[in-house]
Amino acid sequence: MTTSVDPITLDLIENALLNARYEMDSVVVRIALSPVIREQHDEFPMICNEKGQMIVGQFGSYIPAIVEQFDSDINEGDVFVWNDPYACKGSISHNNDWCVMMPIFHEGNHVGFSSIFGHMVDVGGKVPGSMPSDARTIWEEGLRVPPVKVYENGVLNEGVLAIMLNNTRTPDMNRADLMALIAGCRVAAQRVGEICSRFGRDAYMTACDQLLDRTRDAMRVLINNYISEEPVTFTDYVDDDGVGNGPFKMHLSIYRRGDVAVIDWTGTDDQAEGPINFHIHEGLCKLFFGVYMIMAFDPKIMFNEGFYDLFEIVLPEGSLLNPKFPAALSNRLNTHTRFFDCQAGALGQKAPHLAMAAGYGTSPHFIFTGHDKNGKYFQLMELLFGGVPGRPLGDGFDGHAWWPLFSATPLEYIENYYPVLVESYKPVRDSGGAGMHRGGAGIEKIYRLLEPGSISIHDDREVVPPWGINGGLHGGTSSKWLLRAGETTPERIASKLDNLAVEAGDKVIFITAGSGGWGDPLERKLASVQKDVRADLVSVEQAKSDYGVIFDDTLTVDEAATSALRESKRAERGEAAAFDFGFIPGVTEAAE
C-alpha cells in the first residue's frame, strides 16, 4: 500500500470527496418529495473509509456499530436501512430519521461506505408527524426498524419496503425520500470509484488516513490552547418535557487531561418522562465538540473523525443524554440544541473573544393535517427557525436555521400544495438580545388555514430565555397563538401540543425565540442601532433602555443625549456581566 500521498494529490482527493458529499445533497433534494427534505434539506450525508470512519460529512459515523451486527456479511450491492435509535447505539436519535448505508467497492475491493439519514414526515405512531409531545415511551412514536438490508446484492427486498411503507400516513413521500437517500449513497460510491481509478486505490485509502491524521494534529493544538486542566462548568435548561415536568437542567464540565479533552455531563437531570430525551451516540458527542471548536477557533480545519481519541465522553446512564429504553425520544431537539448552548457557555469562558451567545434553542415544527374538499388527506410539516446568536464577528442571523444547509420552505410551495395561506413572515421586533453584536431575531409566521383539520406544534425557549455573553443581554422567548375565525383576540396555546382541532379561517401565529447578544450593548455603533430601529428589528424604547441610544421623531440619533445616557448607564451598571440569563421560572427564584 502507498505509504504517503504528496500534498497536491492529497488536496485534490480531499476536494473531490467534498464535492461528492455536496453532490449527494443535490441528488437527494432533486428526487425527494417531502418538503422537509426537498425544500428544507433535512438530510445529512457522509463518506467513510473502509473502517467506517467519517472522512467528509456532518454528523459523524455510526457505521462500525452497524457492521458489527452483520458480522462482515456485507457485500457489493447491499443497502442497509434502519431508524431505531436504541438498535443502533444512538446513530440516529428519533424514529423519524431513516438512515441508509451502503458499502463502496472498487474493482471488487472494499474501500469505504456512504451513508445518509433524512427526516421522514411520518413514520406512524399516535399522531400525524410521529412526534407526539406527550409520548412517554418510544412505542408511541411510530415504527421502529432495526438495521436490515433493503437491497441485498443489488436486489430490492420488497418485504422490508412494504412493512416500512405500510406503517406511515405518507407512503408515497416516504418511498420517494427513501429512494432519494439511496440514490445519494450510490452517487457517492460512483465518485469514490472514480477517485480510486484516477489516483489509484492505494493512494486513495492512504489519503483518507492522512486526512484523519491531519485533523487530529490540528485538534490537539486547539485542545491544548483552549481547554484548561482546571474544569470549567456551565448549566442551561430545557423548558419542559411536554407532559408537565421541567425545567430540565443540563450541566457540563470540560477539562483537559494531557492531550485529551474530557467532556463530562455529570449533573445533568435524569431522563424525562416526556419525549425530550436525547439518546446521543458517543462518537456524535465527540464530533459535536470537535466541530464547535473548529468553527469557533480555526474554521480551516476539515471535519472528520481523526480527533476522536482526543475526546473522552461521560454520559451518565439514565440521564437526559443517555436515557434507558424505552424512553420517548421524538422531540429530542430541544435537548440537542441546548447541548450546543452548553458547549458555547463552557468553552467561551476561556476564550470569550471567540465564543457566541445562546440561540433559539430547538427545531420548532408546525404540522397541519386533514382532508381537503376532494377528500384527499394532506399533511403539512414545516420546520421553523429563530435567532442565531450574536458572535465575535458580528450580529447573529435573523430567522435562520441552526444547521448551515437548511433553508425555509418557500411560501409558494406551501400555498400551492396545501390548504394554507401564509399571511405574514417577518422578524420579531426586540427579540434579538442587545449587544455590541446583536443577537438574531426570532420570526413570526401567520398561517391562515383554509380547511378544517388539526394542528400539532413543538417549540422551546418559551420559559428559559437564550442567554447573552460578554455583556450581551438575553434574547426574546417564543410564543404560540390561535385566532379563531370571526374572533378578534387570539388565545395563547402551549408550545408543545398535538391534534388541536381547527376550522377553516382560523389563524395560527407562530413566534420563535430570538437569541442572546454578544458584547456590551453600550459599545454598539450608533449607526448599527439606527439601522436596526429603521428596519423595525429594535424598538425606540429598547434602543434607549438596552443600548442607551436616544432618537428624535425622525429616527435620527441625538448624539449628545445618547452620550450622556450611556455614561450614566455605565456608571450605574458597573462592569458588564459575563452572562445574562434573564429570568428562569423555578430556577432564578431558587438561586435567590
Asked if pLDDT for residue 55 goes beyond 80, the answer is yes
Asked if pLDDT for residue 451 goes beyond 60, the answer is yes
How far, in Å, CA of 536 to CA of 84, rounded?
A: 45
**In the block, residue with C-alpha cell 451513508:** 115
What is residue 179's DSSP assignment? H
- Please answer whether residues 231 and 252 qualify as being in contact, where contact means their C-beta atoms are separated by less than 8 angstroms: no
Q: Per-residue pLDDT averaged across 347-365, rounded?
A: 87
Per-residue pLDDT band at 1 (split at 50, 70, 90): low
**What are the grid coordinates assigned to 374, written together?**
376532494
- Domain ranges for the chain: 7-216, 356-520+576-592
Cα torsion at 252, 256, 259, 262 (round to 10°)? Answer: -30
Q: Per-residue pLDDT averaged across 173-191, rounded?
A: 98
Per-residue pLDDT band at 58 (split at 50, 70, 90): confident
pLDDT in tens, 290-319: 888 888 788 888 889 999 999 999 999 999
**In the block, residue with C-alpha cell 504528496:** 6
Per-residue pLDDT band at 267 (split at 50, 70, 90): very high
How far, in Å, CA of 91 to CA of 57, rounded?
A: 14
Mean pLDDT of all residues belonging to the chain: 94
Asked if pLDDT for residue 367 goes beyond 70, the answer is yes
Asked if pLDDT for residue 379 goes beyond 90, the answer is yes
Q: What global pTM score does this model have? A: 0.94
Q: What is the CA radius of gyration of the chain?
A: 25
What integer pLDDT is reported at residue 539 of this predicted model? 98
Per-residue pLDDT band at 352 (split at 50, 70, 90): confident
Instruction: Name the residue among 25, 30, 71 with its Cα closest to residue 47.
Output: 25
pLDDT in tens, 82-105: 999 998 877 788 999 999 999 999
Instruction: Name the residue among 441, 458, 440, 276 with its Cα closest to residue 382.
Output: 458
What integer pLDDT is reported at residue 2 of this predicted model? 63
